[in-house]
Amino acid sequence: MDTAFKVGEIVKSTAGRDKDTYYLVIGNQSNRKIKVVDGVKRKFNNPKYKNSRHLESTGQIAAEFLRDLKKKKRVRSEDVRLILKDYLSKEEVK
């Protein structure tokens, strides 16, 4: 079930010390190594490389993140934190 994750997708870690942590995908080094950030421990300039088998897709893509990338606007770790916080607050309501 190795699926390629898309840039801007919100994913959940399923294994390791960071299990149940939500991340934002910022790149794919290969089909298996995915670059993820959370804005707190893993900032945008120092991404974590996760095995794709240890990630679960939420099915959500951060449109504002993709828009900023297209405009070549600088993406800050604070922006990533806000995207993930917004997603988690919407999930709590469900």
Q: Domains of the chain by range and CATH? A: 9-93 (2.30.30)
**Nearest-5° Cα angle at 25, 12 to 84:** 60
pLDDT in tens, 54-73: 999 999 999 999 998 889 88
Token pair for 69:
């990338």
pTM exceeding the 0.75 threshold for the entire prediction: yes
Stated as kind and residue range, the H or E segment containing 58 is strand 55-61
Q: Among 2-6, 48-52, 56-60, name the one with the lowest average pLDDT.
A: 2-6
